[in-house]
Amino acid sequence: MPLLCLGNKHRVVGVWDDEQWLQNFRMRKATFMGLCEELAPTLRRKDTRLRAALPVEKRVASAVWKLATPDSYRLVANQFGVGKSTVGIVLMQVCRAINLILLRRTVTLGKVQEIVDDFAQMGFPNCGGAIDGTHIPILAPPHLGSEYVNRKGSMVLQALVDHRGRFIDINTGWPGKVHDALEMPIVILGDPVVFRNTMGDVEMPIVILGDPVYPLHPWLMKPYSSKEWFNNRLSKCRMTVECTFGRLKARWQCFYGRLDLTENNIPMVIAVCYPLHNPCDAKSERFAQGWSAEADCLATDFEQPDTRAVRGAQSGAIRIREALRQHFDNEHQ
């Protein structure tokens, strides 16, 4: 008998407590059922003369299970008592539905001034987000292997997060050999003529914070090679995106399973974890520390490739960064 029977006659999961729901689906029952309700109009199918349609709950459960674990299609199929091919079909149906219904609503900029104010409290003024990229292991398309291999096949994911560690913009689909910095621009936080602040006699737009691999722009600040107070402030705020990536991959461990999908479907499956991450975070779904330990074990099979810094910089960006550096130095004195 399958471990989970989510059909009309058997509801084994009905006896689970919230902790069991959290461990298996990364969310409590109420959140899961709310997700099913939102997706039902798109996912519901009619029975045929030959077979009963899979209930929406079972469709969502099998897809979320696949996203939350590095399990193979066969293992997921055994859990739910369905065919291996059915898991693959249902996964794509659910991912399309989530991206269609939830992506634009949950992965959004939100209140810019609130983001700026909270980053200012963390030590960096006029900051609208932190940006970073990460490599997701995949089975590279055989005909494009040289583009996707950088030791191992991967697809690059770039994301911008706010002060709370919620995703406000994402960009995925680039093969692993593409340099992180070449994926920009990702999002511009409003018209720079509107969002201005003055550091001394230097005007600056709202900026986002990146690591050394990114180019220096008036709207993107990166560390100096050696300027202690500036780098410390920038690093403290930019850590939000690194920590958020860590929680994302630990919660949705399909990222460590070398995604075995067609080239066109991989970005869709990667992207679906973001409209799931933000609502889970907004609903205060607990993040189990054991997930990080599991992810660390899985990550040993795939090292993030080294990247080279972009050395070029715009003159306006240099003046803005220098003004910020002087501001931090003055505060320290």
Domain boundaries, the chain: 12-106, 112-332
Q: State the Cα–Cα distance between residues 170 and 276, nearest whole angstrom.
A: 13
- Residue 290 tokens read as 């054991």
The pLDDT, as a whole number, for residue 89 is 94
Looking at residue 308, what is its pLDDT? 64
Q: Are strands 167-175 and 197-199 parallel, antiparallel or unpaired?
A: unpaired
Tokens of 97: 């539905």
Instruction: Give residues with Cβ within 8 angstroms of 288, minimum separation 6.
Output: 22, 23
Maximum separation of any 2 CA atoms in the chain, in Å: 79
Other Cβ atoms closer than 10 A to 310: 17
Please list the pLDDT of the chain residue by residue as tens digits (333 residues).
444 555 443 444 557 888 999 999 999 999 999 999 999 999 998 888 888 889 999 999 999 999 999 899 999 999 999 999 999 999 999 999 999 999 888 988 888 899 999 999 999 999 999 999 888 887 765 555 445 444 457 778 889 999 999 999 888 865 655 545 544 444 444 443 233 445 567 788 899 999 988 889 889 999 998 788 899 999 999 999 999 999 999 999 988 877 778 878 888 998 999 999 999 998 999 999 899 999 988 888 777 766 666 666 677 888 889 888 888 888 877
The predicted structure's pLDDT at residue 142: 56
- Count the Cβ atoms, other than its own, within 10 Å of residue 45: 12
Return the ∠ at Cα 326 (arms to 320 and 327), rounded to 5°: 90
Pairing of strands 207-209, 127-137: parallel
Sign for the CA dihedral angle at 183, 189, 194, 195 comes to: negative
**Residue in 280, 268, 256, 260 with CA at minimum distance from that of residue 25:** 280
Query: Among all chains, which residue has been given the structure tokens 């220096």?
Result: 216
Phi, psi of 132 (to 5 degrees): -160, 165
In total, the chain counts a number of residues equal to: 333
- d(CA 160, CA 149) in angstroms, rounded, equals 25
State the pTM of this model. Answer: 0.83
CA separation, residue 263 to residues 155, 169, 268 (Å):
10, 22, 10
Q: Which residue has the tokens 């995106």?
A: 241
Q: Do residues 157 and 134 lie in contact, with contact meaning Cβ atoms separated by under 8 Å?
A: yes
Instruction: Say what the pLDDT of residue 65 is.
Output: 95
What is the model's pLDDT at position 162? 95
Give the Cα separation of 282 and 261 in Å (integer). Answer: 30
State phi, psi for 201 to the nearest 5 degrees.
-105, 20
**β partners of residue 249:** none
> Are the CB atoms for 266 and 138 separated by under 8 Å?
yes
Residue 280: per-residue pLDDT: 92
